[in-house]
Structure 1
Amino acid sequence: MTYSAAPVRYSSSVESLAPDEGETVAKLKDAVDEIQHTMDEHHGARLRGAHAKGQALLKARLTVIDNLPPSLAQGLFASAGSYDAIMRFSTAPGDILDDSVSGPRGLALKILEVEGERLPDTTSADGQDFLMVNGPIFPNATPAKFLPGFKGLAKTTDKAPGLKKLVSATLQTIEAGLESVGMPSPLVQTLGGAPNTQPLGDIFFTQVASRYGDYIAKLSLAPVSPHLTALAGTKVDAKDRRDALREDINAVIQREGGVWELRVQLCTDLEKMPVEDPTVEWDQDDSPFIAVARIEVAPQVSWDDRASADLQAQLAFSPWHGLAAFQPLGGISRARKSVYEHSQAFRGATNACPMHSGISDAPPTSASGALQPE
């Protein structure tokens, strides 16, 4: 483990609020409303404004690595211990699309029964959430720059699925060409050109910075089981398979389970590793990702159409659920707080069931072995 410089210590001064941020957040809420109202009108269900399609819902066990160096022994990672956890794999859009329409994949990790000083408006029942995507950078630097694209997604939610399949296929070809010359495009990937690969082989990133106790960091989650790392870059055959990702993930997890590492990348230079611009990838030569915990998933059913769908509808994930030691930082994260709360309130108020941030110590399973609501 080597750093180009000492890790930067956290201070509230690392953030700078844009003057139009409040107005932008209000418009983002309007776009989320449009997505959720559209899905309710068409399908009679209030879904997430983004990452609506769950691909797997897993019961996991997180174990903190013992004897971490002081700079990494922060928050819940300050001492060895084990926690029950939930992992949710998803795809990015707010509508439920055929899996041949490729886009960024999400992974939400909820660590249960975490003790310590909480972020405002959260309780221990909320656990500690880390939200990640299978790419190291966010495609837009600020909420204001993210807004136009998100408004466009709202206008096309649940419309022209056949056209979306054709566009995605074209963009996947374009992205493959860009990647072959070392120029991957986060924008093309977001619009439907992401490589349609097996999510279990992907590395996931928080993309945005957060406080990490006394320091500042980004996190990642990487598979380490040989049968998972062997899946890196393998393509999913989604032809005539609407739920190909659910099926392919389940085939692996039900048979073998898996192990991942939760890793931390400390900020060592605020100029090279900015907090307010998540389009800048932090150089791993200056500050590598270092493992702070292992996550084990026993063989289980990763998706059951009834039980998993019911439970994910009741669960709420947010980077603002957690400890003060892991406070999200930057404009994108500040916008997420209000927008996520707005979306979750809408879902909870209209689904005839309150939202839950966490579930009990040992999540129950259905007869198939999948997680199910209590």
Structure 2
Amino acid sequence: MGDLPEPLAQGLFSAPGRYAGVMRLSTNPGDVLDDSVSAPRGLALKIVGVEGERLPGSRPDDRAQDFVMANAPVFAAPNSAAFLKNLKLLAKTTDKAEGAKKVLSAALRTTEAVIEAFGGESATVVALGGQPLTHILGETFYSQTPFLYGRNVAKFSIAPVSSELKALEGEMVSIDGRADAHRDEVNAFFKRNGGEWELRVQFLTDTDAMPIEDASVEWPEDDSPYVTVARIRAAAQDGWSEAKAKEIDDGLSFSPWHGLAAHRPLGSINRVRKESYESSTAFRAERNGCPIHEPRGGGAA
């Protein structure tokens, strides 16, 4: 993007620049499941070579700004206490009864389809396994929780804008016995196409209608629309390979707490994320025998 007007020119976006980055698409459960068990989708973006005052706890050589998002505008729990209850339930079912999860997920997708046919949407049904089997590259992703944006408070979003990506919005994917159907679809797309997304921000303009501490409340876009502050471009490439999985899945970590002080995470959900993400990263590095290597990059060009 070119020069942004105030108050958009804050933090990472305070001056025009070009950065290298890494984007990871995922689904949200802690266990590895067949794609017939549908789940909310995640997108993590790591922008490399970012200079500036870092968040507390950062290493001296940290130069990344991470964005961690999901394909729904609100979080499944309003606060950290409710989030803990959800995690305890998830822990009881992790790596267990995959067959039952497939049956339950199919039933919940039917339930969600009925709800959406009447103009609604249930974050709870989707989170439990009712995520429609749509193409992951057609999704719009949201930070769901608020962050500092320099002197302001905002939520973030990443939305597809290139014609090839927009053509995938709402497109159904046939699983048909393909355990890694979403991976197959992403690979097939990027063998033929590149993609472009917009990184957008939504400012907090009404503290009553747009709470910081309740992550389950959607901030009304009629009152504060999302505004584009950057563009993300990816060239045609191999979307997934064993080598990339080792380098990115095993060698990198993504956290809302990797970044600039100007974009400090806010709210109780983000506060508990700091320690939980750090613990998860340390556990994964130990189990995989692969230390985390955060890229530094060369800064804006």
Aligned pair partner of 1:296 in 194, 212, 233: 233
Aligned pair partner of 1:202 in 120, 123, 139: 139
Aligned pair partner of 2:22 in 55, 62, 86: 86
Within 2, Cα distance between the matches of 1:265 and 1:171?
A: 31
Within 1, Cα distance between the matches of 2:84 and 2:47?
A: 30
CA displacement at 1:322 relative to structure 2: 0.3
**1:53 is matched with which residue?**
none
TM-score, structure 1 as length reference: 0.78
Q: Show structure 1 runs of 4+ deviating over 6 A.
A: none
Mapping 1:157-176, distance limit 5 Å: 157-176=94-113
**2:36 is matched with which residue?**
100
**1:47 is matched with which residue?**
none
Within 2, Cα distance between the matches of 1:68 and 1:126?
A: 22
Distance 1:359 1:167, change over 3 A: farther
**2:205 is matched with which residue?**
268
CA displacement at 1:353 relative to structure 2: 2.1
2:64/2:296 contact within 8 Å kept: no
**1:114 is matched with which residue?**
50
Query: Is 1:75 aligned with 2:11?
Result: yes
CA displacement at 1:247 relative to structure 2: 0.5
Mapping 1:200-279, distance limit 5 Å: 200-279=137-216
**1:23 is matched with which residue?**
none
Q: State the superposition RMSD in angstroms.
A: 1.3
Structure 2: gaps spanning 5 or more residues? none
CA displacement at 1:174 relative to structure 2: 0.2
**1:134 is matched with which residue?**
71
**1:182 is matched with which residue?**
119
Listed one character per residue, the Cα deviations across residues 62-95 of structure 1 (whole Å, up to 9, x for unaligned) are xxx1121111111010111000000000000011
2:49/2:296 contact within 8 Å kept: no
The number of equivalent residue pairs is: 297
SS of equivalent to 2:62: helix
TM-score, structure 2 as length reference: 0.96
Within 2, Cα distance between the matches of 1:310 and 1:360?
A: 19
CA displacement at 1:126 relative to structure 2: 4.7
The letter of the residue matching 1:293 is A
**1:335 is matched with which residue?**
272
Query: Is 1:354 aligned with 2:291?
Result: yes
Listed one character per residue, the Cα deviations across residues 140-166 of structure 1 (whole Å, up to 9, x for unaligned) are 111111112211111111111111111
1:129/1:318 contact within 8 Å kept: yes
**1:344 is matched with which residue?**
281
Listed one character per residue, the Cα deviations across residues 7-43 of structure 1 (whole Å, up to 9, x for unaligned) are xxxxxxxxxxxxxxxxxxxxxxxxxxxxxxxxxxxxx
SS of equivalent to 1:349: helix
Structure 1: gaps spanning 5 or more residues? 1-64, 363-374
1:223/1:259 contact within 8 Å kept: yes
CA displacement at 1:183 relative to structure 2: 1.8
Listed one character per residue, the Cα deviations across residues 156-181 of structure 1 (whole Å, up to 9, x for unaligned) are 11111111111000000000111111
CA displacement at 1:254 relative to structure 2: 1.6
